[in-house]
Amino acid sequence: MGLKILSIGSERNLFVKNSDVQKRMQEYGKLFDELRIIVFANKNLGYENINISNNIFIYPTNHKYKFSYLWHIYKIARTLDWHKLSAITAQDPFESGLAGWFLKLKYKLPLQIQIHTDIFSPYFWQESWINKIRVLLAKFLLPKADGIRVVSQRIKDSLNSKFQTLNSKITVLPIFIDVKKIQSAKIKTDLHKKYPEYDFIILMASRLTKEKNIGMAIKAMADISKKYPNALLLIVGEGPEYENIQLQNNVIVEPWTQDLISYYKTADLFLLASDYEGYGRTIIEAMAGGLPVIMTDVGLAGELLIDDLDGRVVPVGDAKALTEAILELIKNPAKREEFQKNSLKLLENWPTRKEYLERYRNLLIVLK
């Protein structure tokens, strides 16, 4: 019997034709004989079952109330040929993990739980009451998994500090980033031509959510613009925190763009100010684009990006340290060039798509 996987998650862009997520799943689908994906989706969204290739089948839960999602997953699950499936993978240790655990118990299949964010960061816990419930749920579910995939060593270390018996189950495998594609891409938009009134452009690119701490970056920019009035903080992204962003001189917010690679290649500095991250894929994308980076001590900081070698790492929530780091790199082009060279050297041996996909497949093979 070949490898046939059931995945449970909440990535609704799977229903968007030619979206990045859909393309990524099509790549994953080549690894398996069959990939079936159940997606949390409210009935009002109007999604229907779709196939995005001849062996990838996607099912929306179409639940009316959030608390009923488990019942809807069970209804979908009853229609599947469980004796032919090899394993279940849940895309988070929360709602998806709970559904995966119930199906594991009923159908006696191995369960992999994936973790894409730093769930045991105190900032994650403090952010909302729902996060507190999710952390407690993760503590219950993780010991019951047969395999755990995390996207950074930071998350693995945090799990090992909480659990004494999980280490052998945990594998670190980030989301794939096509470094070569970024490096070979042609520039379509030159930010200095788009914003000619600014001679130094600081780029941020992310969903506009609370944990990204966009406000701290804007606060730092208020001080920086006093010394460098021709510096710009360009924020690219969309999300629920948009309405809370306090715009000021030297700060511009743009909607998400499909030409982000050009932005990486024509800005002067990349900034990530998050309170917590699982990994921080935009950091690798920026480094691949030759853009020097300043980031808070989250995600891949200390694992791939080493402070004062490949970029600058500042403490989480420290606006003063962030301001000082930005000022340092604005006035020190030689340091920026050093970071750029070191970053590009670091990425020379970056895994190819084929190597990455083989590792991803092996994580599920060992569960069979």
Is pLDDT at 165 greater than 70 in this prediction? yes
**Can you give the residue range of the structural domain that contains 68?**
4-176+352-365
What average pLDDT does the structure give for the chain?
94
What confidence tens digit (pLDDT) does each residue in 176-230 have? Answer: 999 999 999 999 999 999 999 999 999 999 999 999 999 999 999 999 999 999 9
Q: Are residues 236 and 270 in the same domain?
A: yes
Question: Hey, what amino acid is at 67?
Answer: F
Say how far apart CA 34 and CA 32 lie, in whole Å. Answer: 5
Q: Which CATH number goes with the domain that contains 123? A: 3.40.50.2000
Same domain, 318 and 208: yes
**Do 165 and 211 belong to one domain?**
no
Residue 84 pLDDT = 85
Number of domains in the chain: 2
Residue 71 has pLDDT above 60, yes or no: yes
Looking at the structure, do residues 234 and 340 belong to the same domain, yes or no? Answer: yes
User: Which pLDDT belongs to residue 65?
Assistant: 85
Q: Does the pLDDT of residue 1 top 80, yes or no?
A: no
For residues 41 and 93, membership in a common domain is answered with yes
pLDDT bin (cut points 50, 70, 90) of residue 49 is very high
Selection from 299, 239, 224 nearest residue 269 by Cα: 224
Look at the chain and count its residues: 368
Q: What is the rounded radius of gyration, in angstroms, for the C-alpha atoms of the chain?
A: 21
Residues 21, 105: Cα–Cα separation, whole Å:
29
Q: Both 171 and 278 in a single domain? A: no
Regarding whether 53 and 26 lie in a shared domain, the answer is yes
Q: Which of 253, 267, 268 shows the shortest CA–CA distance to 191?
A: 267
Q: Are residues 185 and 143 in the same domain?
A: no
Cα separation, 85 vs 77, in Å, equals: 11
Within this chain, do residues 118 and 196 fall inside the same structural domain, yes or no?
Answer: no
- Residue-wise pLDDT tens digits, 92-122: 999 999 999 999 999 999 999 999 999 999 9
Average pLDDT over residues 257-281: 97
Say whether both 328 and 356 belong to one domain.
no
39 and 163 co-located in one domain:
yes
CA distance 95 to 91: 9
10 and 153 inside one domain: yes
